[in-house]
Amino acid sequence: MRLSLRNLSFSYGDSKILRDISFDVPEGGFIGLMGPNGSGKTTLLRCIMRFLETGQEMVLLDGKSLQSLSHVEVARTFAVVPQSSSTDFIFTAYDIVMMGRIPHFKSRLSNETRSDADVVKDAMRRTNTWRFAGRQFSELSGGERQRVLIARALAQQPQCLLLDEPTVYLDINGQFEVMDLIKKLNRESGITVVAVLHDVNLAARYCDTIALLSHGRLEAIGTPADVLAPDIIQSVYGIDVIVRRDPFSQAVYVLPHTAALAAAKHGRRVHVLCGGGTGGPVMKALSDHGYSVSAGALNVLDSDFQNAQDLHIPVAAESPFAPISEEVHRENMRLIDQSEAVVVTPFPVGPGNLRNLEAAMSALGSSKGVLILESEGSQRVDFVGGRADAMVGDLISRGAVRVSGIAELVRALSRGGRS
């Protein structure tokens, strides 16, 4: 079964909710519908369910209009798993799952057959719900109820599962349990999955394809790596993010910077001498306070190099594991010359990066404000036999300002960075 959307639009009265959405879902595909609140995700899913009426040729199954199918044909094609479900009636978990067989009954008055019972038992075993088949549905936990609803959907023997935020009320363990189950059914049974999801990292981990909606339009569609790019997320969600790749699963994952509006730049420049992850929080805080920030010298594989890249900060970069060369040192000094102040973080100092402290000494000699950041409860790691500690002490004795913590650093910079 190939599900196709062709210029799908939908309105509630004069309010247009969906606008000209077109894409295909191949047989056995797993697509996540994503987007901000109000973007049209659930409305789109309801159009596919045929809960909402669309134009004749807007939703197609193997090229045939969804509107031309009978209710029974639709029920045998699609199974729906809602966000949650409750009932005032005393139904057991088994009863709920047996409801999935209704589209296969010969008539409304038909009784379930042995074949129906076998299908239900198989669906419950595959979803690990057979063990509480006799328990009342209302007494089950959120994760257990969601598994029962998936078992009910399986009992329909559909070609496609339609899920509306299946993990919305679950804790983190329940979220992974449910998504692992859905992915297993998708892979092992070849069931097509269309799911409305809010969590971008769950979507990236489990979906083959993501369709990203905004204001009722399809903004992007493709693999998670293609769609969950920083510029696309910024455009749709209005938030700056870092995108990484999990070294174990190889799935991309998204880390937000902040939802706050970026501070207006006031033109003051600060250079950060850092390394080993000591500079990331400093660069971020200074950027948030409106400073134009640069950094260096940093080896390309240093975590602070990646931090600078993520923040779009100019950096004097050296080859991995190489000592700071003369060329990179000159670039570092050029960035310092363009700055009003220099911040020295408590980075580990070895023979390869000792020149960063020499750069700080040169900056102090040219009347730049130099601030020595000290981390509470820790001290600089000196791999050069005490030379680094001696140089830092010399910087302080010559007028560098010692600050404890980022808040004090920002206050000192606001006063000009000098004692």
DSSP 261-318: PPPPP-S-EEEEE--TTSSHHHHHHHHHTT-EEEEEEEETTSHHHHHHHHTT--EEEE
CB neighbours of 356 closer than 8 A, spacing ≥ 6?
273, 275, 296, 297, 324, 332, 344, 347, 349
Residues of 63-91 as b/e, b for ≥16 C-beta within 10 angstroms?
eeebeebeeeebbbbbbbbeeeeeeeeeb
Q: What integer pLDDT is reported at residue 10 of this predicted model? A: 93
Residues 402, 372 contacting (CB under 8 angstroms): yes
Mean pLDDT of the chain: 88
Q: What integer pLDDT is reported at residue 102 of this predicted model? A: 87
Closest by CA to 1, choosing from 47, 48, 42, is: 48
Q: What is the chain's length?
A: 419
Residues 211, 31 contacting (CB under 8 angstroms): yes
Residues 225, 206 contacting (CB under 8 angstroms): no
pLDDT tier for residue 260 given thresholds of 50, 70 and 90: very low
- In the CATH scheme, what is the homologous superfamily, with its name and number, of domain 269-414? Ribokinase (3.40.1190.20)
- Whether pLDDT at 237 is above 90: no
pLDDT tier for residue 395 given thresholds of 50, 70 and 90: very high
Percent of the chain at pLDDT above 90?
Answer: 54
Percent of the chain at pLDDT above 70?
Answer: 94
Q: Which residue type does 341 have?
A: A
Q: What integer pLDDT is reported at residue 257 of this predicted model? A: 67
Residues 127, 99 contacting (CB under 8 angstroms): no
- Whether pLDDT at 413 is above 80: yes
Q: What integer pLDDT is reported at residue 15 of this predicted model? A: 87
- Whether pLDDT at 78 is above 50: yes
Do domains 3-257 and 269-414 share one topology? The answer is: no
Q: What are the helix (H) ranges across 136-196?
A: 142-155, 172-189
pLDDT tier for residue 261 given thresholds of 50, 70 and 90: very low
Average pLDDT over residues 168-176: 84
CA dihedral 355, 357, 358, 364 (to 10 degrees): 150
- Whether pLDDT at 259 is above 50: no
Average pLDDT over residues 265-287: 88
Q: What integer pLDDT is reported at residue 8 of this predicted model? A: 94
DSSP 228: S
Q: What integer pLDDT is reported at residue 256 of this predicted model? A: 78
Average pLDDT over residues 143-165: 91
pLDDT tier for residue 238 given thresholds of 50, 70 and 90: confident
CB neighbours of residue 34 within 10 Å: 28
Q: What integer pLDDT is reported at residue 417 of this predicted model? A: 61
For the domain spanning 3-257, the CATH number is 3.40.50.300
pLDDT tier for residue 376 given thresholds of 50, 70 and 90: low
- Whether pLDDT at 84 is above 70: no
pLDDT tier for residue 85 given thresholds of 50, 70 and 90: low
- Encode pLDDT of 103-130 as tens digits: 888 766 667 889 999 999 999 998 889 9
| Domain layout of the chain by residue ranges | 3-257, 269-414
Closest by CA to 75, choosing from 42, 99, 95, 56, is: 99
- Encode pLDDT of 345-375 as tens digits: 999 999 999 999 999 999 998 888 999 998 7
pTM to 2 decimal places: 0.67
- Whether pLDDT at 69 is above 60: yes
Average pLDDT over residues 379-393: 87
pLDDT tier for residue 418 given thresholds of 50, 70 and 90: low
pLDDT tier for residue 27 given thresholds of 50, 70 and 90: very high
Average pLDDT over residues 35-58: 89
pLDDT tier for residue 59 given thresholds of 50, 70 and 90: very high
